[in-house]
Amino acid sequence: MNDKLFLFATIAGTPVALRASEIEAVVRLGDIVPIQRVPPHVRGLAALRSRVLTVIDIESRIFGRPMPVSARPLAVVCEVAAHTYGLLVETVSDICEAPDGIHAIQGRIDRAWAPFASALVEREGRSHLLLRATDFVSTPVAAKAA
Amino acid sequence: MDEILAEFIAETLETLEVLSGEVVAWEADPTDGSRLDAFFRFFHTVKGSCGFLNLPRFERLAHAAEDVLATIRRGDRAADPATVTAVLEVMDRIGTLARCVGDGEEPPIPESADDLLLDALTVRAPSPSAPVEAAPDAKKEVTAAAPAEAAPSATGRERAPRTIRLPLALIDQLMNGISDMVLARNDLARKMRDRGADPELEGSFERLSANVADLRDMISKTRMQRVDRLYAAIPRMVRDLSRDLGKKVGLDLDGGDVEMDREMIEMVVDPLTHIVRNALDHGIEPPADRLAAGKAEAGTLRIVARQSGNQIVIEIADDGRGINRAALVEKAVSAGLLTSTEAATLTDEQKLQLIFHPGLSTAEAVTAVSGRGVGMDVVRANIEQIGGVIGIESCVGQGTTLTMRVPLTLTIIPGLIVRSGGHYFAMPRGNVVELLHQNSAMIAVEEIGGARIATIRGEQYSLIDIEDVLGLPPRDEQSGMHGPRTLMVVRSSVGQPYVLGVEAVESNEELVIRPASPLVTGAGVYAGMTLPDNGQPMLLLDAAGIAQSARLPLRDAGRIAAAAAAKVEQAETTQALLFAERDGTRRLIPLAIVDRVEDVDIGQIARSDGRAFIRIDGRLCPALNADGTLDRTHKALRLHAGRDTLCYLIGDVIDIIEVPISLDVRLDAGRIAGLMMVGETQIEMIDPFTLFTEVARDLHPTETSADAPPPLLCLIADEQDAWLTGILAPLLRQAGHDVTFTAPTGRTPDIILRTEATATEVNGGDVPVLLLADSAETAKVSADAVYRYDRARIIATIAEVAARRAA
């Protein structure tokens, strides 16, 4: 797979990028069935045809406050360790190549983003924080959140 | 080229698996040329392919083995145990290497090590002149009768069904595809209902719908594999182990053609292996001890698989020394599990059950084979984890039989859909012992020091509410709006049974279970997730996890003793389903024969010639109560008796209640068996036997009384037993059998019937003895016991005896 291909989206107004190789599709979800006794960023379960997605609220994972969702929220579908997840995103702008590739982050980013954003991806003159899907589907570890 | 290599590896490994069973059989009968041919062919194929694929190491091994087999085939050399071992080792080495190549790894064994194997192969046995006698005088020899299919003759091989090899991922994809299709069909069906029916369109849709259902069944079958696969490794293991232990063991495998889900097979391998090891190590005695005890020198290990409803039953029986109860109890006492007073009150059954307790093993010495601390408790935990049960029977000096009952598949389980605070959850039906309404007279709830305790028939259970466990809004806010809550008596593998309160139990469905993601299972109360036909994802509750998160006490020894005491006091009762007939009359029916409650669409009901049928799962099932005007949908009780199924249309299900086993007033009025006092009212109890009689000609249209097996002479062992004489005897007579209470002269009885209460020792000799068990639980674990209210099973079992006698 082309490792310069990225999905560009926004989360809490911040432009972010995910490697296209990590993701399977972008879909609008139907009803999300909430789950009890799970971390707050696990929004619930949603059906995607015959598959069941665990819906993850990235914004809640980063900032600790739930993302306001519309009736048919946009989600990035990805498969990690044989489980399928839907990562909620605000908007998706495009899937395209970033010819300049990945840069190291210059300057200090928000403390909330720091554990998740490892690099920057440039597209049309704008920087996007590069996120990894696996960071959001693992059980939060105290050290990581600090 | 890679593809060819992968194919070669897969084929080699598969052939090896099949052959490992045959090699033992070959050793037992070295003269059997057809087996020798099979091995010869294997090595020959490997040799040929290796040359082509450039795998010199394989080629060298295969070539040497082929040479040795060739000399044996010519009669120049005997198939003595040493040679067989050497051939086996070469096969193992080829297997190891093939797996390494398959995984793309470097083989862990240096090539020079192959020389040792080849040397062993070429060393001549000392007595080549006695090819046949060589085996019996070897002390370490083991005989094994491999399953008949495992040794097909040359002609059998040609007639084998044509097969192709498919990647598993493709089958999973197919399964997903068909699930998508079912969901789309359901969606379409909903939309068609909403828009009003066009009969023509509906006809086409029905046809499509039936096709989709058939397709789903067929694809589910692709997941099934023969139990032979489970058996494949056993002959070899028994051979190797009995050699190591210096024992003689004959192996008898049966039921290899039974099919079960391939995932299930994988889950059963470990427990089965462990049980077989135990049987060889602790069960079967060394030859000298056996002779001293007056038994045959060689022990027998028999493994039988059979399908029983939607379960697979695997029985592992040895004819060894049996389980020493005294030693078990002594260990339990010294381990502090029981006090000696408690130990004294244990029944034999309970003593045997101690073997499943962690840390109790009767082995006097820890051996290399078993007794390494991994005990039967782990075996039981593994079996229960997959929704199975394990039972044990043991007769000192005569042997031990372990019975594993596991569901047919891991992925489709019957579940109850429960509702609470607008949320829906699934609970495996296997975990639910009974359902009660909160306001049922059977149950008393009290609050003591913050704990809530439910008392049902004198047994106390912790009562927890699902809302409390899951952190849903407390139940008080909703009470009054939703009527009485439903209480489920839940049993899990780790703890005491407890009562779980939910708002309502909605329905009973076959659920396709998928694993939930770690973030979800991390909550500790979910076992998986499922997508029912309505397309709304649902979580499967974990009965053990809920008990743990509510911090309920775990299973303890005091409970064993308490249960022993409680059992004595418990009045004899049975479960019955309370329902409303279509006209609203409340009636009871024995729960044992109710398979499930179906929602029947009017389209599924067909009436002809005064009779009615309901189409369920692509089959027509006779229906009762289908007269008069029908509504769009109906509830129907699906009654099940052996091979026979019938549907009984009802108004609604009301409750499951416990009733005394004997009727308060006996009537002989068609479908009504009698009256039963329930609380302050009397309710009619349906006689299921009559129901089945009514539809008998639809169930077995070709059967006429002339073909029926000749009547049996049934001997009832205890004339004093009111149940046997008052209930069973009339039933047997009705079924056309002769009943006697004393052993007749001149004619041997065909079957002897007894209950657990039968005091006199019953020894039937050749005559089969059938135990009519007080509880369905006992009947489950014992082969010659039938639950006394499982009338259809009783009749079926007796009919079996008749059929066997006729044969």
| Domain CATH number, residue B731 | 3.40.50.2300
By the 10 Å C-beta count (0-12 exposed, 13-18 middle, 19+ buried), A106 is classed as exposed
Question: Which of A47, A138, A139 is opposite residue B537, by nearest beta carbon?
Answer: A47
Chain A residues with CB under 8 Å of B177 CB are: 50
B459 has which bridge partners?
B456
Closest to B395 (Cα-Cα) out of B311, B293, B248, B307 = B293
- B471 and A36 within 8 Å at the Cβ level: the answer is yes
Q: Is residue A145 part of a domain?
A: no
Q: Is residue B460 part of a domain?
A: yes
Q: Has the ipTM of the complex gone over 0.85? A: yes
Q: Which residues of B touch A (CB under 8 A)?
A: 176-177, 179-180, 182-183, 423, 470-472, 514-520, 522-526, 529-531, 535-539, 549
Q: Is residue B155 part of a domain?
A: no
Whether B389 and B245 map to the same domain: the answer is: yes
Cα-to-chain-centroid distance, residue A97: 18
By the 10 Å C-beta count (0-12 exposed, 13-18 middle, 19+ buried), B494 is classed as middle
DSSP label at residue B202: H
Per-residue pLDDT at B428:
86
Q: Is residue B412 part of a domain?
A: no
Instruction: Report the b/e string of B604-640 with b at 16+ CB within 10 A.
Output: bbeeeeeebbbbbeeeebbbbbbeeebeeebbbbbbb
Q: Is residue A60 part of a domain?
A: yes
Q: Which of A24, A31, A32, A49 to mutate to test the interface with B (most CBs of B within 10 A)?
A: A49
Whether B17 and B107 map to the same domain: the answer is: yes
Tokens of B440: 């049922």
Q: Is residue B162 part of a domain?
A: no
CB B25 within 8 Å of CB B150: yes
Q: Is residue A123 part of a domain?
A: yes
Residue at A73: amino acid letter: P
By the 10 Å C-beta count (0-12 exposed, 13-18 middle, 19+ buried), B79 is classed as buried
Q: Which residues of A touch B (CB under 8 A)?
A: 30-31, 33-39, 42, 45-47, 49-52, 54, 56, 81-85, 137-139
Whether B114 and B234 map to the same domain: the answer is: no
B423-428 and B399-407 as β-strands: parallel, antiparallel, unpaired?
A: unpaired
Whether B65 and B34 map to the same domain: the answer is: yes
Whether B467 and B536 map to the same domain: the answer is: yes
Tokens of B318: 């040895």
In chain A, how many domains are there? 1
Determine the Cα–Cα distance for residues B627 and B583; give it in Å rounded to an integer: 12
B390 has which bridge partners?
B404
Q: Is residue A141 part of a domain?
A: no
Question: Which of A37, A39, A52 is opposite residue B531, by nearest beta carbon?
Answer: A52
Range of the domain at B193: 168-209
Residue at B482: amino acid letter: H
Q: Please name the residue of chain A whose CA is at the shortest distance from the CA of residue B175.
A: A50
According to DSSP H, which parts of chain A are helical?
Answer: 58-63, 133-137, 142-145
- B519 and A31 within 8 Å at the Cβ level: the answer is no
- A46 and B537 within 8 Å at the Cβ level: the answer is yes
pLDDT grade for A139, boundaries at 50, 70 and 90: low
Q: Is A111 a residue whose pLDDT tops 60? A: yes
Whether B388 and B247 map to the same domain: the answer is: yes
Residue at B512: amino acid letter: V
CB B98 within 8 Å of CB B12: yes
Per-residue pLDDT at B333:
83
Whether B16 and B112 map to the same domain: the answer is: yes
Range of the domain at A107: 5-136
Determine the Cα–Cα distance for residues B397 and B774; give it in Å rounded to an integer: 27
Q: Is residue B154 part of a domain?
A: no
Q: Which of B565, B591, B626 is the last residue of a domain?
A: B565
Question: Which of B470, B517, B535 is opposite residue A47, by nearest beta carbon?
Answer: B535
Q: What are phi and psi of B674, to 5 degrees?
A: 170, -170
**How far is the CA of B566 from the CAs of B152, B285, B774, in angstroms?**
55, 38, 15
Q: Is residue B261 part of a domain?
A: yes
CATH number at residue B377: 3.30.565.10
Whether B64 and B48 map to the same domain: the answer is: yes
**How far is the CA of B383 from the CAs of B270, B398, B524, B535, B675, in angstroms?**
10, 26, 20, 31, 41
Q: Is residue A142 part of a domain?
A: no
CB A109 within 8 Å of CB A117: yes
CA distance B531 to chain A (A): 7
Q: Which of B389, B407, B425 is the last residue of a domain?
A: B407
- B520 and A82 within 8 Å at the Cβ level: the answer is no
Per-residue pLDDT at B368:
45
CB B343 within 8 Å of CB B329: yes
Determine the Cα–Cα distance for residues B619 and B611; give it in Å rounded to an integer: 16
Task: Count other C-beta atoms under 10 Å from residue B658's C-beta.
Answer: 18
Question: Which of A35, A39, A83 is opposite residue B539, by nearest beta carbon?
Answer: A35
Per-residue pLDDT at B539:
92
Whether B14 and B131 map to the same domain: the answer is: yes
Whether B273 and B337 map to the same domain: the answer is: yes
B769 has which bridge partners?
B752
B751-755 and B769-773 as β-strands: parallel, antiparallel, unpaired?
A: parallel
CA distance A85 to chain B (A): 8
Per-residue pLDDT at A145:
37
CB within 8 Å of B22: residues ≥ 6 apart: B35, B38, B39, B146, B150, B151
DSSP label at residue A58: H
Per-residue pLDDT at A119:
86
Determine the Cα–Cα distance for residues B609 and B602; give it in Å rounded to an integer: 18
Strands (E), B138-281: 143-145, 224-226, 249-254, 259-261
CATH number at residue A130: 2.40.50.180
Q: What are phi and psi of B93, to 5 degrees?
A: -60, -45
Distance spanning both ends of chain B, measured CA to CA = 57
Chain B residues with CB under 8 Å of A52 CB are: 514, 529-531, 537
Q: Using only C-alpha atoms, what is the Rg of chain B?
A: 30
In chain B, how many domains are there? 6
Question: Which of A45, A56, A139 is opposite residue B537, by nearest beta carbon?
Answer: A45
Tokens of B293: 């005890």
Tokens of A14: 């911040």
Tokens of A131: 């996120």
Whether B121 and B257 map to the same domain: the answer is: no
CB A122 within 8 Å of CB A98: yes
Determine the Cα–Cα distance for residues B290 and B299; give it in Å rounded to an integer: 8
Whether B241 and B378 map to the same domain: the answer is: yes
Helix (H, G, I), strand (E, B) or coil at B314: strand
According to DSSP H, which parts of B29-80 are helical?
Answer: 33-53, 56-74
CATH number at residue B544: 2.40.50.180
* Sites in chain B below the pLDDT cut of 50: 125-159, 362, 364-373, 477-480, 554-571, 702-707
CA distance A130 to chain B (A): 23
Tokens of B385: 């984890």
Q: Is residue A72 part of a domain?
A: yes
Strands (E), A73-125: 74-80, 83-89, 91-97, 102-103, 119-123
Q: Is residue A143 part of a domain?
A: no
Per-residue pLDDT at A45:
93
B622 has which bridge partners?
B613
| B652-660 β-sheet, strand order | B652-660, B573-580, B586-590, B681-686, B672-678, B665-669
pLDDT grade for A53, boundaries at 50, 70 and 90: very high
Q: Is residue B599 part of a domain?
A: yes
Closest to B230 (Cα-Cα) out of B299, B150, B117 = B150
Cα-to-chain-centroid distance, residue A33: 19
- A54 and B520 within 8 Å at the Cβ level: the answer is yes
Residue at B388: amino acid letter: G
Tokens of A133: 């899907």
Q: Is residue A79 part of a domain?
A: yes
The rounded mean pLDDT for chain B is 76
Instruction: Report the b/e string of B315-343 with b at 16+ CB within 10 A.
Output: bbbbbbbbbbbeebbebbbeeebbeeebb
Q: Is residue B29 part of a domain?
A: yes
